[in-house]
């Protein structure tokens, strides 16, 4: 017979889930940020149009902010010390993770726009980047929220 979870068990499980999810997301954001960090130092960067530079800066800044939110969970945990309010920490970490995912979607969209505009200038970049953003929003936000509301 399975033992019923008490409130502390639930918080511990939710914290473990949050840490596992962060371990999946953070390397992706780190690689994207590292890639973006190198771009201004390449020879072709100087030749980018103002629109492409703007897309780059949006991608770079949103990736940096996403990393700050994801790392913020660990900083919060370390700096609060013990004992700490695990429920409050989880609520804060959840908001930070959702914010990081939204910023990642923005960064990826801007990168797609930038790459598409360099490779296929004209009509391709806008619709392509919009499609990527729509796909990310539907997959990462709308689908989970629909399922959450259906559950009650």
Tens digit of each residue's pLDDT (9 = 90 or more) over 40-76? 999 999 999 999 999 999 999 999 999 999 998 888 7
**In a domain? residue 2:** no
Burial bucket for residue 57 (CB in 10 Å: 0-12, 13-18, 19+): middle
Per the structure, how many domains does the chain have? 1
In a domain, 59, yes or no: yes
Instruction: Identify the domain containing residue 14 by its residue range.
Output: 7-151
In a domain, 141, yes or no: yes
On whether residue 1 sits in a domain, the answer given is no
With 70 as the cut, is the pLDDT of residue 2 above it?
no
Kindly state whether residue 145 falls inside one of the protein's structural domains: yes
Cα 119 to the center of its chain, rounded Å:
25
pTM above 0.85, yes or no: yes
Residue 21 lies in a domain: yes
The answer to whether residue 97 sits within a structural domain is yes
């Amino acid at each position: 017979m399975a033992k019923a979870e008490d409130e502390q068990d639930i918080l511990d499980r939710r914290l473990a889930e949050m840490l596992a999810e962060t371990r999946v997301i953070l390397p992706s954001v780190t690689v994207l940020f590292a890639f973006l960090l190198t771009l201004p130092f390449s020879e072709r960067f100087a030749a980018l149009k103002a629109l492409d530079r703007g897309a780059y800066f949006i991608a770079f800044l949103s990736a940096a902010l996403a990393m700050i939110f994801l790392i913020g969970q660990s900083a919060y945990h370390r700096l609060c010390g013990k004992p700490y309010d695990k429920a409050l920490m989880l609520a804060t970490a959840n908001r930070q993770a959702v914010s990081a995912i939204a910023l990642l979607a923005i960064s990826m969209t801007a990168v797609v726009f930038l790459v598409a505009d360099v490779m296929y200038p004209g009509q391709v970049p806008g619709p392509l980047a919009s499609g990527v953003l729509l796909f990310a929003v539907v997959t990462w936000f709308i689908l989970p929220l629909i399922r959450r509301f259906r559950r009650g």
